[in-house]
Amino acid sequence: MEILAEGKELEEDIFPNLEDLRLHDLLRSSNIVEGHVSPRSFANLKFLSLEKRDNLRYIFSWSMIKQLPKLETLYISNCKNLEDFFEENATETEIVNYELPSLKFFTLKCLPKIFSIDKIVALALSSIEEVYTIHCISVKSLPRSLVNAPRLMIVTGQRKWWDEELQWEDYTIKQQLQPLFKVHLDLNLFLLETSKIGIWANKDRNLLIFSVFCSFAFCVWLQRMNSCIVLFKF
């Protein structure tokens, strides 16, 4: 499958009542929608997940943005050739008129060619609540506008990325976002490191499993407490 739908061939609405769309392991697919589609197409879409789509170059055409008023969650993972969220066919003047008014959560994971999240933050500035940027090695900065996002509660990423790799245009931006930062828990790395500790301390298999379980449970509890602190922050 090259594309999910081609607007120039379809006059009727495309999935007007669809709320949840998950497109995974479509390695040959290049785009979701090509061309213009009817105004009611995807009008009720709330959840969009794209994973392991190696030929995906961009996600949305600019003409589609106005047709996604109810999109709340965007999850993009392991799309190694994704370069941008939107195709480049709109002027800056036109972009001002676009918005994703309901987008609350977006997760970007293992997207090596994505350099910036500025555009998508700008489109969802009034609604965004949680931002997850994990293993996106080319994202070296966060948009200044995040500081002014009225509903933003959590920014999640790796500790090294936050402390060492991000470049701040103004250090006060980091200071303002620091209370919202939540460290991403890499379970595979965590189990590897704790197993080394367990083996060093005691070679008994049952004790090792118990120690890993207790350590992991503590980290989960700590993260939830951190979320509570953010949620109840005055």
Question: What pLDDT, on the 0 to 100 scale, is given for residue 191?
Answer: 47
- Look-up: residue for tokens 């293993």? 135
Q: How far is CA 43 from CA 11, 27, 121, in A?
A: 15, 26, 21
Which is it for strands 3-6 and 31-34: parallel, antiparallel or unpaired?
parallel
Q: Say how many C-beta atoms besides its own lie within 10 A of residue 124's C-beta.
A: 24
Question: Is residue 36 a contact partner of residue 63, using CB atoms and an 8 Å limit?
Answer: yes
CA distance 113 to 174: 24
Residuewise pLDDT in 10s, the chain (234 residues): 444 545 444 556 778 889 999 988 765 555 666 656 677 788 899 999 999 888 888 888 777 888 899 999 999 999 999 988 887 765 655 666 788 999 999 999 999 999 999 989 999 999 999 999 999 999 999 999 999 999 999 999 999 999 999 999 888 999 999 999 999 876 554 444 445 455 444 445 555 555 556 666 666 555 555 544 333 333
To the question of pTM greater than 0.95 for the whole model, the response is no
Question: What pLDDT, on the 0 to 100 scale, is given for residue 234?
Answer: 31
Question: What pLDDT, on the 0 to 100 scale, is given for residue 117?
Answer: 93
Query: Which pair of structure tokens corresponds to residue 53?
Result: 């789509």
Question: What pLDDT, on the 0 to 100 scale, is given for residue 127?
Answer: 96
Question: What pLDDT, on the 0 to 100 scale, is given for residue 16?
Answer: 84
Question: What pLDDT, on the 0 to 100 scale, is given for residue 147?
Answer: 94
Q: How far is CA 1 from CA 4, 28, 34, 53, in A?
A: 7, 6, 13, 11
CA distance 68 to 70: 6
Q: Where are the beta strands (DSSP E) in 30-172?
A: 31-34, 47-51, 73-77, 105-109, 130-134, 154-157
Question: What pLDDT, on the 0 to 100 scale, is given for residue 71?
Answer: 95
Q: How far is CA 195 from CA 87, 98, 117, 126, 213, in A?
A: 45, 49, 36, 43, 10
Query: Which pair of structure tokens corresponds to residue 203?
Result: 């070679």
Question: What pLDDT, on the 0 to 100 scale, is given for residue 3?
Answer: 44
